[in-house]
Structure 1
Amino acid sequence: MAERIERTITSLHHPIVKLVRALDRRKVRRAEGIFVAEGLKVIATGRDRGWVPRFLLMREDADAGDKKRMSAVLIAWAAECGVPCLALAEPAFAKVAARDNPQDLIAVFAQRWKPLPPAAPEEKGVWVVLEEVRDPGNLGTIVRTADAVGAKGVLLVGACCDPYSREAVRATMGSIFNVPLARMEQEAFRAWSAAWPGTVVGAAPAAGEDFRGHYREPVLLIMGGEGPGLSPALAETCTRLVRIPMTGSVDSLNLAIATAVMLYEIRREVLAP
């Protein structure tokens, strides 16, 4: 593998080290249009989905065994694609790796934002609309669930957290490479969704209709942010408002769990054996 590595970086002040550290800030990610993905499984998923990184970083003294062999495979693939592959000495690598459960391989990819689907799409399916989601772990988990049920994409409305943050990307477990992402402001969404030909459904605890039932496709599933839930403005765009019944002492579910419950009900007929 040594011949695949262009050079070893030892300086904590190397431009690559500074850049990757800076990508922990959203404004830098947005300005540069790139993001960090960590770990063999996540990077391999990106490769399998046709994503090619800008560069790869490897811990210089990575452990031997299966992980090192898999790293060698990924580095060989990246090198064949013309991607710079760099080893970092331990102090430098510690500066760019995640603090919790750091991985031996880091890749930096270009972000991909998709245009909105047509307001009257010809194909069936479900799109997930998230309004002002603030927790990156929830957002990443929802992207992963959307991938699991075969959703067409995730649309972020308003001041949502960044799906390309480290926390969100890690929570997707690689689904960041497979689920189209789009974004828009609330008023633009209201105008765009007005022509939607199928069901526009929102989840709200005070709704009278039970969530279990048939949903005419194509479906827009709108989920409000943690805490405030669905705003009145987006609730007005819904053709149906439904609730997930609960007993016991709780009056709400975690956003990622509630979204998963809704998605599996909407897709129940498609996913049935």
Structure 2
Amino acid sequence: MSARTITSLQNPTVKAVRALHMRKTRDETGLFLAEGLKNVIEGIDTGHPPRVLLHGPDAMSHPMMRKAAQATLAARGEVIEVSHDILAKVSRRENPQAVVGVFRQAFTALDNVQPGPARCVVALHRVRDPGNLGTIVRTADAAGCGAVILVGECCDPHAVEAVRATMGSIFAVPLARAGESEFAAWRAGWTGSVVGTLLSASVDHRAATYAKPALVLMGNEQQGLPPEMAALCDVNVKIPMRGRADSLNLSVATGVMIYAATN
């Protein structure tokens, strides 16, 4: 079912796909990489067929791979058989996945993120770590959140590390981007509660009232919420620390808050 086979590491298509590890190339092309057949199928099932589908010599025997190839070709994408060495080069991993897809990035306008049936929306201010961001997107998907909003200068949700961490949820959760002032203006029309986390807060996250839909606003890994962002919240809460650690990883803390807000 493959339209062609590539065996050269110097092939222009291989170089172009590999270049998507760089944010500059992703920004210029509007494309990104998703590794693994599960992620590719998630993209297809949510209406995002690959633009290019690379697969190893033995992958086509898998029935889901045949589904992926058919969907790619039906959407006028390209299906290419490549060697293990090319997959390793594209993935930058010694043990690469047997399937790699190139997809079009998708963002939703902030104005399209509106209170609806979802019980929670997540906003992240200047998140820096793509692994954390990807894990938060996956958690938001699992909890049925309506969107993840990236506020200010954030890391790229389409970085390979972030996409890996989403485990396919990159295709399921609407992503929006906004500057701080744009977000503040949009937040003024939010009809539910807006809740943030602060180490200095006096309200336990389990004792707070979360009017649905809740907007959970989280700060970045190093500084948390700055005063101007905390001021946008109806209530700021703390997650108690009972051991020697004085804080949680951002993705863990966000997961705690998502499930507190959606209970």
TM more than 0.5: yes
- 1:225-236 to structure 2, matched below 5 A, reads 225-236=220-231
User: Are 1:94 and 2:88 counterparts?
Assistant: yes
User: Are 1:255 and 2:250 counterparts?
Assistant: yes
Paired positions, count:
262
- Please name the residue that 2:136 is paired with: 142
Q: CA deviation at 1:80?
A: 3.3
Q: Alignment partner for residue 219 of structure 2, among 224, 227, 232?
A: 224
1:110 to 1:239, Cα distance in 2 relative to 1, 3 A: same
The answer for unaligned runs of 5 or more in structure 2 is: none
- 1:53-132 to structure 2, matched below 5 A, reads 53-60=50-57, 62=58, 68-99=62-93, 101-117=95-111, 121=115, 125-132=119-126
Give the residue type in structure 2 aligned to 1:263.
I
Q: CA deviation at 1:130?
A: 0.3
Q: Alignment partner for residue 5 of structure 1, among 2, 6, 27?
A: 2
Q: CA deviation at 1:120?
A: 6.7
Q: What is the CA–CA distance in structure 2 between the aligned matches of 1:120 and 1:82, rounded to whole Å?
A: 33
Task: Tell me the TM-score normalized by structure 1.
Answer: 0.90
Aligned-residue Cα RMSD (Å) equals 1.9
3-state SS in 2 of match to 1:162: coil
User: Are 1:171 and 2:168 counterparts?
Assistant: no
CA contact (8 A) 2:118 2:146 kept: no
1:103 to 1:120, Cα distance in 2 relative to 1, 3 A: closer
- Please name the residue that 2:22 is paired with: 25
1:89 to 1:234, Cα distance in 2 relative to 1, 3 A: same
Q: What is the CA–CA distance in structure 1 between the aligned matches of 2:45 and 2:212, rounded to whole Å?
A: 30
Q: What is the CA–CA distance in structure 2 between the aligned matches of 1:100 and 1:233, rounded to whole Å?
A: 45
Task: Tell me the TM-score normalized by structure 2.
Answer: 0.93
Q: What is the CA–CA distance in structure 2 between the aligned matches of 1:243 and 1:101, rounded to whole Å?
A: 41
Q: CA deviation at 1:48?
A: 1.2
1:122 to 1:64, Cα distance in 2 relative to 1, 3 A: closer
- Please name the residue that 2:150 is paired with: 156
User: Are 1:241 and 2:236 counterparts?
Assistant: yes
1:152 to 1:124, Cα distance in 2 relative to 1, 3 A: closer
- 1:192-203 to structure 2, matched below 5 A, reads 192-203=186-197
- Please name the residue that 1:52 is paired with: 49
Q: What is the CA–CA distance in structure 1 between the aligned matches of 2:87 and 2:36, rounded to whole Å?
A: 13
3-state SS in 1 of match to 2:110: coil
Q: What is the CA–CA distance in structure 2 between the aligned matches of 1:267 and 1:56, rounded to whole Å?
A: 37
CA contact (8 A) 2:6 2:83 kept: yes
- Please name the residue that 2:177 is paired with: 183
1:38 to 1:6, Cα distance in 2 relative to 1, 3 A: same
For residues 150-198 of structure 1, the C-alpha deviation after alignment (integer angstroms, 9 at most, x for no partner) is 1000000111111111111110011111000001111221222123222
Q: What is the CA–CA distance in structure 2 between the aligned matches of 1:193 and 1:248, rounded to whole Å?
A: 35
Q: What is the CA–CA distance in structure 2 between the aligned matches of 1:64 and 1:111, rounded to whole Å?
A: 26
Q: What is the CA–CA distance in structure 1 between the aligned matches of 2:149 and 2:167, rounded to whole Å?
A: 19
Q: Which stretch shows the higher mean deviation, 116-125 or 13-22?
A: 116-125
